[in-house]
Amino acid sequence: MNKNNISNENNYNDDDSYDEDNLVSLKIINLKYLSKKNSLKNILREVNFLKMCEHPNVVKYFESFFWPPCYLVIVCEYLSGGTLYDLYKNYGRISEDLLVYILDDVLNGLNYLHNECSSPLIHRDIKPTNIVLSKDGIAKIIDFGSCEELKNSDQSKELVGTIYYISPEILMRTNYDCSSDIWSLGITIYEIVLCTLPWKRNQSFENYIKTIINSSPKINITEGYSKHLCYFVEKCLQKKPENRGNVKDLLNHKFLIKKRYIKKKPSSIYEIRDILKIYNGKGKTNIFRNFFKNLFFFNDKNKKKKPNKMISSKSCDAEMFFEQLKRENFDFFEIKLKDDENSRSLNTFNINISKERDDISYSSLNLEKIKEHSLNMVASVVGTEQSQK
């Protein structure tokens, strides 16, 4: 790996005692099951966009490599704070004071993509699950699979993104620009503040289009929210893209300016969680409930949680390992690497495998025989397989 500070420790638990700087996150893609002819091209574009970006509020990319027989692995920084979706689902509505600091981070990340990146980009899939918090409470934008260069956006009529967050112009397959990300951000704010989307999730695509055309989502001032927040969301969710303003306009909006300096920015994900517990009126209850629930754990520091699933490094190879993961529908893997003193090849690592929600299991796998390959090798291998067919 290209990362310098790779951990030499062999094991870690989910007790947040590890050093986040020594962890990375893997996105593992099975190239064998790409559904479209241009899927490989899109994946390589995603990698190129990640390579292009370097900003505190955009996930940091390290490298990519091909893993025989048919896996592409994208290595990025590990963010232990979880997504905004996880945050509001587990701790309740996001307070306005906290929202200001999260929005500052997200808008600065979008400003970098829209205006400061070497080739300006439109993310096209801003949503609560694509905004992740670090251990220090910094919000970062992830997942560039739907990303597009601004100069090419007017040539694309492809319906891309996540349906409930897609801007009307993308939904109607008309020309669009960076303001489509502003719409998606508006829906994201609405969701994390009210803990619901402005429309039903399970409606048909046709009904959803009618809903988008006939309604404009708003946060009601009479429900106890500040007028500046309501105006901020209303501005993001204007039907006409030109009325939404740009990222720089939003960074100077009264909602952010007025709230920004009221309180000190939280310095960790734990402080953010505590703020939300108190804000949503369940801090004390949760503290005592968790105390009695976990009393046995604190009385026996050496007692470890029993893993849900184990894969022995002695009895499995990479193909069998991934076959099991595929059956379990795992997509993302957070790993701790062990650095070989004599080489930079991947030798042994422990994988903390987590589903989209709370189920967690641990595994370790010996990879002594697996070598790193370049992205050119990926294209070459897939091209050879297609030609043989």
CATH of the domain at 112: 1.10.510.10
Together in a domain, 68 and 108? no
Contact between 360 and 352 under an 8 Å Cβ cutoff? The reply is yes
pLDDT of residue 31: 85
Residue 166: Cβ within 10 Å count: 24
**What is the full DSSP assignment across 175-200?**
---THHHHHHHHHHHHHHHHTS-SS-
Together in a domain, 246 and 369? no
SS3 45: helix
Together in a domain, 270 and 313? no
pLDDT of residue 204: 80
For the stretch 324-341, pLDDT in tens is 544 544 443 333 333 433
Together in a domain, 132 and 276? yes
Determine the angle formed by the axes of helices 227-236 and 179-194, rounding to 10 degrees.
Answer: 140
Q: Round to the nearest angstrom and report the end-to-end CA distance of the chain.
A: 34
Q: Is residue 302 part of a domain?
A: no
Together in a domain, 129 and 199? yes
Q: Is residue 290 part of a domain?
A: no
pLDDT of residue 320: 54
pLDDT of residue 323: 55
pLDDT of residue 214: 77
Which parts of the chain have pLDDT scores under 70?
A: 1-21, 36-38, 152-157, 221-222, 261-263, 282-389
pLDDT of residue 76: 94
Q: Is residue 295 part of a domain?
A: no
pLDDT of residue 53: 95
Together in a domain, 110 and 241? yes
- Residue 191: closest CA among 137, 259, 183, 274: 183
Together in a domain, 56 and 106? no
pLDDT of residue 324: 52
Q: Is residue 363 part of a domain?
A: yes
pLDDT of residue 84: 97
pLDDT of residue 255: 93
What does the block give as tokens for 24?
Answer: 């990375």
Range of the domain at 60: 20-77+309-388
Together in a domain, 71 and 101? no
The span from the CA of 2 to the CA of 60, in Å, is: 13
Together in a domain, 206 and 253? yes
For this structure, is 125 an active site residue? yes
Together in a domain, 321 and 242? no
Candidates 125, 177, 181, 339; catalytic one: 125
